[in-house]
Amino acid sequence: MTQNERLKEKQRLIELFETSPSIVGSATWREYYEQTADHFLDNGVIIPPCKVGDSVRRMDNLDHCPFCGEQPKTSFWVSQHSYEEEIVCFSVTCTGCGVSKTKKVKFGRDGATFADIQKAMDEAIKLWNHRV
């Protein structure tokens, strides 16, 4: 993500906060939170199915393990983070015997787009499926 794209996304979030419901018109804090959540979701905010620090797993046209025949899983995590860059590991691991293939990717200060992450995971899957 370029600095300009990040600024545009940041501005859009600020606009969503500025146009979100007011606590004044709400009977309870819970009602306010629900109205605000609805406002964000109605305006396209996407909530990932994980929390900060969780590994994200998905299944993608993965060949079964050549050693035990079990189905593998995919995951990714940040292995190193600094102001200048972060290293993200993308892995395919057998759920049976634990054998794995991992692709490490460096992302610069501007971070990574979803397309960058998808491409890196696809490369890890290719490593798994085309192992010798």
> Across the chain, how many H-helices and E-strands are there?
3, 3
Return the residue matching tokens 């007011």: 22
Which tokens belong to 94?
């057998």
Residues 6+ apart with CB under 8 A from 70: 64, 94, 95, 96, 97
How far apart CA 83 and CA 60 sit, in angstroms, is 32
pLDDT at 47 over 70: no
Return the residue matching tokens 């995951």: 75
How far apart CA 24 and CA 102 sit, in angstroms, is 51
**Cα 112–chain centre separation:** 10
DSSP β-bridge partners for residue 107: 86
Query: What local confidence, expressed as pLDDT, does residue 98 receive?
Result: 92
Query: What local confidence, expressed as pLDDT, does residue 83 receive?
Result: 65
Q: What's the pTM value of the predicted model, to 2 decimals?
A: 0.50
Structure confidence at residue 96 as a pLDDT band (50, 70, 90): very high
Taking residues 60-84, report their average pLDDT. 81
8 Å CB contact between 95 and 70 = yes
